Amino acid sequence: MTASADFKAPAAEQMLLRGLLRGFLRLFFRGLVRPPMPVAGQRRVLRALTTITLTPRGVTRSADTLAGRRCEWHWPPASNGGVLLYLHGGAFMIGGPDTHRGICASLAKRGALEVCALDYRLAPEHPYPAARDDVVAAYQALLEAGYRPQQIAIGGDSAGGNLSLVGCLRIIELGLPAPAALVCFSPATDFTGEQMHEPPAGDPLIHPRWIEQAAELYCPADLPRDDPGLSPLFADLSPLPPTLIQVGEDELLLNDSLRLAERAKAAAVDVRLERYPGLWHVFQAHVGMLRAADYAIARVVAFLREQGV
């Protein structure tokens, strides 16, 4: 793929730290979070790896429920009234609000946003469309709680980026007002797997067999993999609100972002594509440690402010 970007990150820095992170992720994430390890084991590994997460001072966290699902709220020292409904990644099978506290707390503080991390239902216990339906129900609950659509953004990483897109399209299909903006970190957009990227430096995070496992456990057997509800790349994208896509260039899912941006632009969507050379899948998780991640989060905050969130 040769899709252009509206923005491309500056030259690489912190090369020693990047190398250390690459090696750590390759050994402890890519090497473990994949078959033959069962999903229950993968969930334990991710929670162990994210037990010690850097979170900024001044952000208050509270547990709650939203539309019947557990969630975590991150409250900034001073809120501008906007809310970000955050959907964690984890190949639709693992992860939760507790594994993504670094990203959520950083977005809350830097954006003066109220961030709600939703504990949506996971496969294999709950395949598609359970997670998408949880997103729609959570959005409806935010509206019922008094948030105006212009105050709400939806965002997420990887599987959560997919759910941000298909959830928003379902919200609009149901006749609800669209949120003000979407933020997608390396979204999974094509379950056919026909144009997987092969970075020369390798993907230190995602093993191809993990992607295959996710597709087998999340996608119903009787539903084509290019169904728009599963793969937003094949949906009518024209109703989408302004959308920011950030993606690392050293990741298997690079083309999912590039192709989505191309199709969204062709559908006249206000879409921004940001490419980060030398970085991997959801590098934003290293916010507070990796300057490129700090920079990317700052770009998200600027984008949301531009949309009035």
Catalytic-labelled residue, pool 158, 164, 186, 231 = 158
Q: Which of 249, 251, 257, 274 is catalytic?
A: 251
CA-closest candidate to residue 228, choices 190, 174, 267: 190
Q: Quote the distance between the C-alpha of residue 152 and its chain's center.
A: 16
User: What residue spans of the chain are helical by DSSP H?
Assistant: 15-25, 39-49, 101-111, 130-144, 159-173, 208-218, 254-266, 291-306
Catalytic site includes residue 251: yes
- In 3-state terms, what secondary structure has residue 116? strand
For CA atoms 77, 106, 41, 135, the dihedral sign is positive
In the Cβ-directed half-sphere of 186, how many Cα atoms lie within 13 Å? 28
C-alpha–C-alpha distance, residues 181 and 304, integer Å:
7
Dihedral, CA atoms, 164, 160, 106, 101, nearest 10 degrees?
140
Instruction: Give the count of beta carbons closer than 10 Å to the beta carbon of residue 267.
Output: 14
Active-site residue set: 158, 251
